[in-house]
Amino acid sequence: MNVSLPKNINFNFSSQPKSFRNPMVEVFLLLAACGLFYWFIIMPKTVEIAKQNEVLAQVTAEKAKITETVEALKEMVKNLSVNEKEIANLDEAMPLEAKALRLRMLLESLSQSVGLLVNNVNVTYGGDAPWAGSKEILAHPYSVPRSVQRLSGTVSVIGTYDQVVALIQKIEKSGRVININSVSMDSAEDGNLNIALALDAFYLGPNTTAKK
Amino acid sequence: MTQINLLKQTAPTTNLWAIIPKILARFFLVVLIALVAYYAWLIINSKKIAKDIITTQIEINDGKKEGLHMDKREEVLVRQQQLQAVNDTLTKHLYWTQLFSELARVTLKNANYSSIRVGTDGVVTLTGNVPTIADLDKYLQVFDLSAFNKNFSDIRIGGYNKVQNKDSGSKVSFDLMMKFNPAVIQYKPETK
């Protein structure tokens, strides 16, 4: 049996849902979603994280520096009690008080040790701090602001050239740092010389006017 | 007999132009999911970094407090200042004995000094005597030689005169002024 169908046949499958899925549209929408998501969400976040990492690197470096400083400080505190002799030498070279009378005694003693006749030794103290008995300094000797201060002195002695050179050598090598500013020698009676030295010594004294 | 298949086609189509968009769609879907996952990871990472920053800052503050409240810290600081001051002072320390030995080296053997004045201005003022005027001339000529004028220069005679003495005979007394090289009184490690 032959069946001939007309060209305008309509099967009328109206119950079957019509699909709107177009793969090309999907591709376009997904591509747009990916691009927008990356541009407006991921990129700002990446920049933010880069900045955070920068800050983290800075604080980490600062932490390392502080840790190193604290460790060094601990080591120095430990060394304070170990190196008592070196600290005593340091205190002799650059005392924390003027000790003008001790400087005068030292100069007299050095002059006499080389056989010079001491005519006069003079040490001038012009610091602000009291010579002794400052309760503030005694209570907190390391808390008061300090600065390098100068003690000026003159030494007038009589002796031979060799004695003078020996005295100058002793002053140069003295534990207390003393700078000779001028030397004056004039011939005196009995073949001796009148010698005058002008010198400066230094100390790390409390400075009432300085701010810590 | 001709058959008409009205059922939906289930077999994969072989049309390439129909397959590529579908593959691309799936690919971009996967990319989108990966981007969302990456964003989630970024958020987690960002929170972790923020936490690390706060933790490090707390540790920094703790370190500062520890350093500030350390026992004997102030003494250490004063000792450091003291040591620095000593080093600074020592670099400027002057060694006059080096000048005197150098002056002795360049002085004529038969010259005697009766007065010497030296200061940090770099000038030596001398009063001395030599047996004759010729000796004074020799004394001065020495300083024209490079071996002797390295540390002393610009020698000037203030005055000279012949002095008669009963005991020692005649002598020529002179006043002299010269400049000295400041380096000669500075610290020389090899001489110490």
What was the ipTM of the complex prediction? 0.71
CA distance B192 to B84: 22
- A contacts of B38 (beta carbons < 8 Å): 42
Q: Work out the end-to-end distance of chain A between its first and last CA atoms, rounded to an integer number of angstroms.
A: 120
Tell me the C-alpha distance between A3 and B2, whole Å. Answer: 9
Tell me the HSE value of B99 on the side-chain side, using a 13 A CA sphere: 26
For residues A21 and B68, give the distance between their C-alpha atoms in angstroms, rounded to a whole number: 71
Identify the closest residue of chain A to B31 by CA–CA distance: A34
Tokens of A143: 């808390």
CB-based burial of residue B189 (10 Å sphere; 0-12 exposed, 13-18 middle, 19+ buried)? exposed
Mean pLDDT, range B6-30, rounded to an integer? 77
In 3D space, the residue among B68, B78, B67 whose CA is nearest the CA of residue A144 turns out to be: B78
For chain B, the straight-line distance linking the first and the last C-alpha, in angstroms and rounded, comes to 127
The identity of residue B190, as a single letter, is E
Q: Which two tokens stand for residue A139?
A: 């209570």
- Which residues in chain B have Cβ-Cβ distances shorter than 8 Å to A88? none
pLDDT at site B191 = 47
What would the mean pLDDT of B51-67 be, rounded to a whole number? 94
Residues of A in contact with B72 (CB under 8 A): 77, 80
Q: What's the pLDDT score for residue B2?
A: 62
Query: Pick the residue with more confidence: B51 or A135?
Result: B51
Cβ pair A63:B63 closer than 8 A: yes
> When comparing pLDDT for B54 and A5, which is higher?
B54
Reported pTM: 0.70
pLDDT for the residue numbered B192: 44
- Give the span between the Cα atoms of A199 and A211, in whole angstroms: 29
Q: In a structure prediction context, what are the per-residue pLDDT tens digits for chain A, which is 212 residues long?
A: 565 656 665 555 555 555 567 888 889 999 999 999 999 999 999 999 999 999 999 999 999 999 999 999 989 888 888 888 999 999 999 998 888 889 999 999 999 999 999 999 999 887 777 777 777 778 788 888 888 999 999 999 999 989 999 999 999 989 999 999 999 999 877 778 999 999 999 999 887 654 44
Note the pLDDT of residue B43.
96
- Closest CA relative to residue A201, chosen from A140, A150, A142, A145: A150
